[in-house]
Amino acid sequence: MSTDLYRIVYCSRNEIKGTTQEIVNAQLSLLEAARSKNRRLSLTGALISQAGVFVQVIEGPQHSVEHVFSLVQQDDRNSDVTVCLRGPETERDFPKWSMAFADGEALGESSLPQVILDVVFANQEGAGVNLLALLKAHFTHENSVLL
C-alpha cells in the first residue's frame, strides 16, 4: 500500500445552469470526463449532487489529488468550494470507483441533509468527518443507485 495516499472531501455550490435536462446532461458529461481522468491518475472517489450542491471525495496519490482539486477550484461550474477534510490516509474508502455518482434529487431522497450543509459552509469542526461518513454509507448501501 502506498504511503502517498491522500484524500480531500469538499462541498461546493453547483453553478451549472439550464433546464433540468441540460443540467443532467452537463453533470453526466462532467462525470464521464472525471472518471476517465481519474483512471489515468489512479484516483478514486464519490460524488453526490443534490439541491444545488456537490459533495465529493477524491482519494489517491497526493500530487494527483491536489492537481485535480486545483482544477475543481478553477472550474466555473463550482462556487463556494469548501474543503471539509484533507490529509494523508492509510486506505481508500472508495477503491472500486473511479468516481461513484448519485443524483439525490433523481433518486428522490435527501442524501444531503441541510443541517450538514449548514455545518460545512460555516466551516464548523467535524463537518468533513460527517460528510465522509454520509458518502461511505450511501455508496456502500446495497440498494444504492449509481449512474
Q: Indicate whether 77 belongs to any domain.
A: yes
Three cell numbers written together for 49: 449532487
Distance in Å from the first CA to the final CA of the chain: 29
CA distance 111 to 137: 10
For 48, 87, 106, the CA distances from 4, given in Å and listed in that order, are 25, 10, 36
145 is a domain residue: no
**Partners of 9 in beta bridges:** 57, 85
For residue 123, give the CATH number of its domain.
3.30.70.100
Residue 61 has pLDDT above 90, yes or no: yes
Please give the share of the chain, as a percent, with pLDDT higher than 90.
44
Q: How far apart are CA 142 and CA 132, in angstroms?
A: 18
- The number of beta carbons lying within 10 Å of the beta carbon of residue 122 is 9
Helix and strand element counts for the chain (H, E): 4, 5
How far apart (Å, rounded) are the C-alpha atoms in residues 91 and 89? 6
CB neighbourhood size of 59 (10 A): 23
- For residue 111, give the C-alpha cell: 442524501
pLDDT tens across 14-45, in order?
Answer: 899 999 889 889 988 989 999 999 999 999 99
Lowest-confidence pick of 21-35, 71-85, 100-114:
100-114
- Which one is predicted more confidently, 133 or 27? 27
Instruction: Give the structural domain span for 117.
Output: 5-140
Number of domains within the chain? 1
Strand partners, 61: 5
CA 33 to chain centre: 14
Assess if residue 147 is contained within a domain: no
Question: Worst-scoring range by mean pLDDT, 14-18, 75-79, 110-114, 140-144?
Answer: 140-144
pTM of the predicted protein model: 0.82
